[in-house]
Amino acid sequence: MPSRAMPSRPLALAIALAGLVAVTPARAQPSPDALVDAFEAVLGPVRTHRPSHAKGTCAAGHFVATAEGTRLSVAPTFSGQRVATLIRFGVGGGSPQASDTSRSTRGLSIRFETPAGDIWDMANISVPVFGAPNPQVFVENLLVRRPNPANGQPNTEAINAFVAANPAVTRQGRWLAANSPPASWATTPYWGVNTFVFRGQDGQLRPARWVFEPRAGTQRLTEEQMRSMPGDFLADELRRRVAAGPVEFDMVLQFPAAGDDLNDPTIAWPDDRPRAVVGRLTVTEVAPGPGGACDPISFMSLDQAPGVELSDDPTLQVRAGAYAVSLSRRLQ
C-alpha cells in the first residue's frame, strides 16, 4: 500500500485526546496477498471477475457538495463544484450470476473526479456493518469455510466453533436476515461502515462515517416478490428509473460520541448521533448492458487527504492493497 494510506500517530492522538477512542498498539495484519488468497481458498482462482460483488452494472453521474460539506472538508470533492462520478452498483457474493433477490449486500462504488483531475474512490454496502471486525478475523472467517477436497463441503463443526469464538462475524448476517433485499439499487441506503477523518475549513479533525440515503426512500422486496421476481431485474429496473429522471442520494456524515468504537466496522453507531448532509450524488446514466467504464476499476484511492483521511481502522489499512492484488491477478 502507498505510505500515505497510513494515518500519522499525531492524527490518532488527536482523536484520542478528543475523548472518542483510546489509542491501541498496532497489531500485525494479513498481507494483501493473504486476503485475496483467502477468497480464492473458498471460491477457487478468481481471474475473470471481482471476488466480492462480482455481479454489477456501470453507471455515471455527478456529485455536488453542500455548504456544510464544504465547511467540514477541505478535500477537492467537497469544493461545491459539480464533480463527475463513475459508479458501479453491485450484488453481493463471488458469482457474476448471483440472484438479485438474494439476502446479500448490494454495493455502491463511486469514483469522484474533480475538474482539476483529483480522484477519490469509495465502496459502500447496503448494510450498516461489515462482516468482520478486523482483517485477521476476516481472513480466518473465509479460511474456515474452505471446502474439503474429499467431499467438496466445508467443515460445519469448525465453522460453528469459529463463529462461537468470534460472534462479531454474525452481525452482518443477522441484519440481512432481518431485512428483505432492496426492491431497487435506487431505494436502499449505502453505508461506508468504516471511520474516516474529515479535516474542516477550520482545521479541526472530525472522525465520521457516512451513508448515502436514497431520495426515493427505502423500498424492499416483499416475501412474495423474493419468490417471484427474476434473478436479473435490478439493472433493467435502474435503467428505467434513470430514463424517467435522475436517481439521487444524499451523502450524510454521522459523528461519534465519546465511547463509540471508531475502529470496529461490525459495530454501528447509534442512530441518535449528530448528522450532517454534505452532498448529493445524482445518477444520470446507466450502461446499456454488461460491461462498461467501471469494470476495470478497483476503486482503490480510498482517501483524499488532507480533507478526507483514513482512520486507524485496520480494515482500511489493508483494503487498497488487497484490491490492487485482486486487480493484478485478473489482468494476468
Q: Which tens digit of pLDDT belongs to each residue from 292-312?
A: 999 888 898 899 999 999 999
Q: Where are the beta strands (DSSP E) in 200-274?
A: 205-214, 247-254
Which residues partner with 113 through β-bridges?
Answer: 84, 119
Do 212 and 187 meet the contact criterion of CB atoms below 8 Å apart? no
108-128 pLDDT tens trace: 999 999 999 999 999 999 999
Of the residues 50, 53, 88, 199, only one is catalytic, namely: 53
d(CA 88, CA 298): 10
d(CA 326, CA 22): 33
pTM of the model: 0.88
pLDDT of res. 10: 37
Q: Where are the beta strands (DSSP E) in 33-105?
A: 55-65, 82-91
pLDDT of res. 16: 46
Residue 49 a catalytic site member: no
45-100 pLDDT tens trace: 765 677 678 899 999 999 999 999 999 999 999 999 999 999 999 999 878 889 99
Cβ contacts of 298 within 8 Å, gap of 6 or more: 50, 323, 324, 326, 327
State the Cα angle at 181 between 172 and 178, rounded to 5°.
50
CB atoms within 10 A of CB 36: 23
Which residues partner with 210 through β-bridges?
Answer: 253
pLDDT of res. 23: 40
Q: Is the pLDDT of residue 6 over 80?
A: no
From residue 63, give the alpha-carbon distance in Å to each of 80, 109, 176, 299.
Answer: 9, 13, 29, 16
Cβ contacts of 217 within 8 Å, gap of 6 or more: 187
d(CA 144, CA 73): 41
Helical (H) or strand (E) element with 43: helix 32-43
How many H-runs (helices) and E-runs (strands) does the chain carry? 9, 10
The DSSP secondary structure of 100-164, one letter per residue, reads: TTSSS-EEEEEEEE-TT--EEEEEEESSSS-S-SSHHHHHHHHHTTPPPTTTS---HHHHHHHHH
The Cβ-side half-sphere exposure at 258, using a 13 Å CA radius, reads: 3
pLDDT of res. 320: 77
Domains annotated on the chain, with CATH: 3-32+57-135+170-325 (2.40.180.10)
More confident residue, 12 or 122: 122
179-201 pLDDT tens trace: 999 999 999 999 999 999 999 99
Written as nine digits, the cell of 122 is: 469509495
